[in-house]
Amino acid sequence: MNLEWINDGIEDFIGFYDEKGFWVEEWIDFDDQVERKKLRGIIPEPVIWHHAEKFAAAVCIDGMMLLRMTELAKTRPPMSDPDQINQAVQWWDEHMDYANVMQLFIESESIKCLDSGEISFSAVSIANTCRVGFRGGIPVRKSHSNNISLMAARCTSLVMDGARVAHHDIGTWSNFTKVKKATISTALQQFETAVDDPVLIKRLAFIARAKSAYQNHDFRGSFTMLWFVIESVAKELWLLKAKGKNTKKPTMYEILIDLEKDSIISSAQYGAIDDLRDRVRNVLMHQPVTAICLPDDCFKAADSAMQLLRNKVTTPDITLKWNFGVQF
């Protein structure tokens, strides 16, 4: 049910889980009633809060993530009004961009921190979000957009009063990755810096969605989203170099040549991107029926996109895991 909530002093956050699950600091001892209470209530216990000018975020003990973008919260359109469906979709799409980028930073810091377990996120979808209302820092209501995530469903089944937890369930949950509080706090600080650059957020969101497509074996879709990032950053770097002196609209091939000539990108960067442009991008665009895009092409495109982003001094260092599997 999609309810329109009245502005009654309650601050609404979007909530979301990673389907693989992770614990913050330590897993819950389900044999301990005090510990199990941390999973009861409207939401599990939030153990990390981060308040900034443009957003507020929290992470619960069982890995549930919460995000409230200040300006977006002020402009939420009526979701049940069919005349504003486009505005509603756009509003949600922007929220998903920020949520996915927040996840990217948490994943990156979990990989870089030697004391923390490593996690690899999938992109957030609207259907897998919930909406949580807080008053005075206390959760007072929650509704699900559509689906309840697997992680949330497991959590609910394990904390019911009188429920007996099977040993195999405890073993499964105890194997979930444990991520340090300090790791998540560092990630949220980096996210705070990133939100000052809406263009960077959009580009990183494309990378997050490309990563999920890659995990789901959609290598063409993954490459296409990564190419959007490569081309947009390359054009921006070229325009900054040209500073309005050249009025012609160059091709991507010409842009790459100019960037290498002026040492804005290295010869190795030029060679890698130009190979992808000629061998993969052009074939995908002009001969999509016969085009072949392999996992290695996506991985090279992701590496090229991140290298180009690092040409901008405002881009933080991000390390990600690109995983996929094949079985028959």
Euclidean distance between CA atoms 252 and 231, whole angstroms: 7
User: Percentage of the chain surpassing pLDDT 70?
Assistant: 84
pTM: 0.87
Is residue 63 within 8 A of residue 110, CB to CB? The reply is no
**Would you list the domain boundaries of the chain?**
11-195, 211-311
| Mean pLDDT calculated for residue range 102-128 | 89
Euclidean distance between CA atoms 79 and 12, whole angstroms: 14
Please name the helix (run of DSSP H) or strand (run of DSSP E) that holds residue 221, with its range, or none. Answer: helix 219-242
Nearest one of 37, 32, 185, 70 to 116, comparing CA atoms: 185
Is residue 258 within 8 A of residue 182, CB to CB? The reply is no
Determine the pLDDT at residue 125. 85
Euclidean distance between CA atoms 284 and 307, whole angstroms: 23
Euclidean distance between CA atoms 2 and 15, whole angstroms: 15
| Mean pLDDT calculated for residue range 15-30 | 82
Query: Is residue 205 packed enough to be buried (19+ CB in 10 Å), middle (13-18) or exposed (0-12)?
Result: buried
pLDDT, tens digit, for every residue of 297-314?
999 999 999 999 988 766
SS3 281: helix
How do the residues of the chain divide into helix, strand and coil, expressed in percent and rounded to 5? Answer: 50, 15, 35
Euclidean distance between CA atoms 226 and 248, whole angstroms: 25
Determine the pLDDT at residue 147. 54
Determine the pLDDT at residue 241. 85
What Rg, from alpha-carbon coordinates, does the chain have? 22
Is residue 280 within 8 A of residue 223, CB to CB? The reply is yes
Query: Is residue 265 packed enough to be buried (19+ CB in 10 Å), middle (13-18) or exposed (0-12)?
Result: buried
pLDDT, tens digit, for every residue of 222-253?
999 999 999 999 999 999 888 766 667 899 99
Q: Is the dihedral of CA 239, 242, 245, 251 positive or negative?
A: negative
**Does pLDDT of 58 surpass 80?**
yes
Determine the pLDDT at residue 149. 52
Structure tokens, 43: 């939401």
pLDDT, tens digit, for every residue of 261-309?
999 999 999 999 999 999 999 999 999 888 889 999 999 999 999 999 9
Could you give the C-alpha distances from 284 to 59, 218, 295, in angstroms and in order? Answer: 40, 13, 14
For β-strands 177-179 and 22-24, DSSP reports them as: parallel
Euclidean distance between CA atoms 294 and 220, whole angstroms: 8
Euclidean distance between CA atoms 109 and 120, whole angstroms: 11
pLDDT, tens digit, for every residue of 177-209?
899 999 999 999 999 999 999 999 999 999 999
Determine the pLDDT at residue 55. 98
Determine the pLDDT at residue 238. 93
- Greater confidence (122 vs 171) lies with 122
Highest mean pLDDT: which range of 33-42, 148-157, 162-171, 280-289: 280-289
User: What is the pLDDT of the chain when averaged over all its residues?
Assistant: 85
Euclidean distance between CA atoms 72 and 77, whole angstroms: 10
SS3 315: coil
Determine the pLDDT at residue 168. 41
Determine the pLDDT at residue 66. 97
Please name the helix (run of DSSP H) or strand (run of DSSP E) that holds residue 130, with its range, or none. Answer: strand 129-135
At what angle are helices 252-261 and 219-242 packed, to 10 degrees?
60
At what angle are helices 219-242 and 198-215 packed, to 10 degrees?
160
Determine the pLDDT at residue 166. 46
Determine the pLDDT at residue 207. 96
Euclidean distance between CA atoms 150 and 256, whole angstroms: 45
